[in-house]
Amino acid sequence: MELNDVSYSWPKKPLALVCIDGGDPEYLQAGLRDGIIPNIARFMEEGFYQVAKGSMPSFTCPNNMSIVTGTEPKIHGISGNFFIDPKSKEPVVMTGPELLRSRSILGEFSREGAVVVSITAKDKLRKQLQKGMDLSSGSVSFSSQHADKCTMDENGIENVLEFVGQPLPNMYSAELSLFVLDAGIKLLEEKKPNLLYLSLTDFIQHAHAPGSEEANSFYIEMDKRFGRLQELGALVALTADHGMADKSNESGEPNVIWLQDSLDEKLGHGACRVICPITDAFVGHHGALGGFVRIYLEKEQDRKKGSEIIQTMEGVEKVWTAENVAKELELPLDREGDLAVVADKRTVIGGSEKDHDLSALKGKRLRTHGSLHEANVPFIISEPLNDIYLKRAGERTLRSREIFEYALNGTKI
In whole angstroms, how close is the CB of 23 to Zn ion at the nearest point? 9
Judge whether 198 and 179 are in contact, CB under 8 Å.
no
Say how many residues touch Zn ion, by CB under 5 A: 4
Q: Is 72 in the site for Zn ion (CB under 5 A)?
A: no
* Closer of 203 and 320 to Zn ion (Cβ): 203
In whole angstroms, how close is the CB of 46 to Zn ion at the nearest point? 28
In whole angstroms, how close is the CB of 277 to Zn ion at the nearest point? 13
In whole angstroms, how close is the CB of 122 to Zn ion at the nearest point? 9
Give CA separation, 375 vs 55, 78, 208, 368, in Å: 7, 16, 19, 12
Q: Is 202 in the site for Zn ion (CB under 5 A)?
A: yes
Of 36-44, 132-140, 150-158, 196-204, the segment contacting Zn ion by CB under 5 A is 196-204
Q: How far is CA 339 from the centre of its chain?
A: 23
* CB-nearest residue to Zn ion: 60
Percent composition of the chain: helix, strand, coil (DSSP 3-state, to 5): 40, 20, 40
In whole angstroms, how close is the CB of 13 to Zn ion at the nearest point? 28
Of 14-22, 108-116, 132-140, 176-184, the segment contacting Zn ion by CB under 5 A is 14-22
Q: What angle do CA 22, 245, 323 make, to 5 degrees?
A: 85
Among 39, 55, 60, 230, binds Zn ion (CB under 5 A): 60
The DSSP H or E segment spanning 258 is strand 256-258
| DSSP of 171-222 | SSSTHHHHHHHHHHHHHHHHH--SEEEEE---HHHHH--TTSHHHHHHHHHH
Of 71-79, 178-186, 241-249, 332-340, the segment contacting Zn ion by CB under 5 A is 241-249
* Closest to 37 measured CA to CA, from 176, 230, 225, 204: 225
Of 6-14, 132-140, 195-203, 402-410, the segment contacting Zn ion by CB under 5 A is 195-203
Q: Is 241 in the site for Zn ion (CB under 5 A)?
A: yes
Q: What angle do CA 270, 272, 278 make, to 5 degrees?
A: 125
In whole angstroms, how close is the CB of 385 to Zn ion at the nearest point? 27
* Closer of 21 and 182 to Zn ion (Cβ): 21
Query: In the window 19-38, what residues touch Zn ion (CB under 5 A)?
Result: 21
| DSSP of 48-84 | EEEEEE--SS--HHHHHHHHHHTS-HHHH---SSEEE
Q: What angle do CA 329, 77, 305 make, to 5 degrees?
A: 50
In whole angstroms, how close is the CB of 112 to Zn ion at the nearest point? 29
Q: Is 130 in the site for Zn ion (CB under 5 A)?
A: no
**How many other C-beta atoms are found inside a 10 Å radius of the C-beta of residue 300?**
8
* Closer of 110 and 199 to Zn ion (Cβ): 199
In whole angstroms, how close is the CB of 291 to Zn ion at the nearest point? 13
Judge whether 57 and 277 are in contact, CB under 8 Å.
yes
* Closer of 242 and 294 to Zn ion (Cβ): 242
Within 13 Å of residue 268, how many CA atoms lie on the same side as its CB?
7
Q: Is 400 in the site for Zn ion (CB under 5 A)?
A: no
**Interaction site with Zn ion (CB under 5 A):** 21, 60, 202, 241
